[in-house]
């Protein structure tokens, strides 16, 4: 079986008691903490940025997986790395010089990943896939937690898995948005490695249990 990882998205955490949620993740079977940065330009919402990541990194025992939903990511790569990012994901739709951006992230000594919006095809990765550590497939339109999973994602993941195998690579596939037990199971079956999940984990009586259950398949 392929490696399977869970990355809880703290976009759905309780910001009045964030330490408690980070400690829950520290004690859980989760592998990473997913950190959603939104600028109100590329996506119609604003979340959090560099100072909060820096504080989180002092108490998180899990690597910080930073998802940049921002129109111009290049100037922010070093600040996010210095604030504690272990991975930086940029959107293909925001990077006219994606090869340069990915190499620049790698030069900082961290993982470099690219994200595709639901309407962006897998074929657009053909020339960049061998350079990235991970591809993040959006299974909702980015900007908000708690949205409904887009069904076409399963075939997209399967197609990407084929591309990765056919090029002899070991690129990770991460999926983000609308993930619960049912969609999560089918995504792992389709070839995903990393599931990001926000509301399903945090809007629950027992978030740690939900994390473990997502890994049961
Ligand atoms: C959406 C974000 C997601 C979000 C997922 O733009 O990128 O990471 O937190 O939330 P759920 O799991 O609630 O769909
Ligand atoms: Zn995300």
DSSP string for the chain? ----EEEEBGGGS-GGGHHHHHHHHHHSS---EEEEEEBSSSSS-B---HHHHHHHHTT--S-EEEEEE-S--GGGHHHHHHTTEEEEEEEGGG-TTHHHHHHHHHHTTSEEEEEE-TTS-GGGGTTTTTT-SEEEEESS-TT-SSPPPPTTHHHHHHHHHHHHHHTT---EEEEESS--HHHHHHHHHHT--EEEESHHHHSSS-HHHHHHHHT--
Cα 176 to ligand 1 centroid, rounded to whole Å: 6
Give mean pLDDT, residues 79-98: 98
Separation between Cα atoms, residue 153 and residue 134, nearest integer Å: 16
Q: Which residues, 6+ apart, have CB-to-CB distance to 210 below 8 Å?
A: 197, 200, 201, 204
Q: Please identify, by atom number, the ligand 1 atom nearest to the C-alpha of residue 11.
A: 9
| Residue 85 banded pLDDT, cuts 50, 70, 90 | very high
Percent of the chain with pLDDT over 90: 99
Q: Is the CB of 171 under 6 A from ligand 1?
A: no
> 1-5, 62-66, 179-183: which has the minimum mean pLDDT?
1-5
pLDDT at res. 22:
98
Q: Which of 78-82, 84-88, 213-217 has the lowest mean pLDDT?
A: 213-217
Q: How confident is the model at residue 217 (pLDDT cuts 50, 70, 90)?
A: confident
Ligand 1 centre distance from Cα of residue 2 (Å): 23
Mean pLDDT confidence for 133-145: 98
Percent of the chain with pLDDT over 70: 100
Report which ligand 1 atom has the smallest distance to the Cα of 43. Answer: 6
60 lines ligand 1 (CB under 6 A): no
Structure confidence at residue 51 as a pLDDT band (50, 70, 90) = very high
Is any atom of ligand 1 closer than 6 Å to the C-beta of 34? Answer: yes
Ligand 1 atom nearest to 9, measured from its CA = 9
pLDDT level of residue 137 (50, 70, 90 thresholds):
very high
210 lines ligand 1 (CB under 6 A): no
184 lines ligand 1 (CB under 6 A): no
Distance between Cα 140 and ligand 1 center (Å): 8
Average pLDDT, the chain: 98
Tell me what the mean pLDDT of segment 108-115 comes to: 99
Q: In this model, does residue 64 exceed pLDDT 80?
A: yes
> What pLDDT is stored for residue 2 in this prediction?
81
Mean pLDDT (whole number) for 76-94: 99
Ligand 1 pocket, residue 147 CB under 6 Å:
yes
Cα–ligand 2 centroid distance for 44 (angstroms): 14
Ligand found nearest the CA of 203? 1
Q: Which residues are catalytic?
A: 36, 176
Closest ligand 1 atom to 138 CA: 7
Residue 1 has pLDDT above 90, yes or no: no
Residues 166-171, mean pLDDT to the nearest whole number: 97
């Amino acid at each position: 079986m392929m490696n399977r990882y869970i990355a809880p998205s703290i976009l759905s955490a309780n910001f009045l008691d964030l330490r408690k949620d980070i400690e829950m993740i520290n004690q859980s079977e989760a592998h990473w903490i997913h950190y959603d940065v939104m600028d109100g330009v590329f996506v119609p919402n604003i979340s959090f940025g560099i100072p909060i990541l820096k504080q989180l990194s002092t108490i998180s025992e899990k690597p910080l997986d930073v998802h940049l939903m921002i129109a111009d990511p290049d100037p922010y790569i070093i600040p996010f790395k210095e604030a504690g990012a272990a991975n930086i994901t940029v959107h293909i739709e925001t990077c006219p010089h994606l090869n340069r951006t990915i190499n620049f992230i790698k030069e900082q000594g961290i993982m470099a990943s690219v994200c595709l919006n639901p309407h962006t095809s897998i074929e657009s990765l053909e020339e960049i896939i061998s350079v990235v550590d991970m591809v993040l497939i959006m299974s909702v339109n980015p900007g908000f937690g708690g949205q409904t999973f887009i069904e076409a994602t399963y075939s997209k993941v399967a197609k990407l898995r084929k591309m990765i195998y056919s090029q002899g690579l070991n690129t990770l596939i991460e999926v983000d948005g609308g993930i619960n037990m049912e969609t999560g199971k089918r995504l792992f079956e389709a070839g995903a490695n990393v599931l990001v999940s926000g509301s399903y984990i945090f809007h629950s009586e027992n978030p740690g249990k939900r994390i473990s259950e997502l890994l049961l398949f």
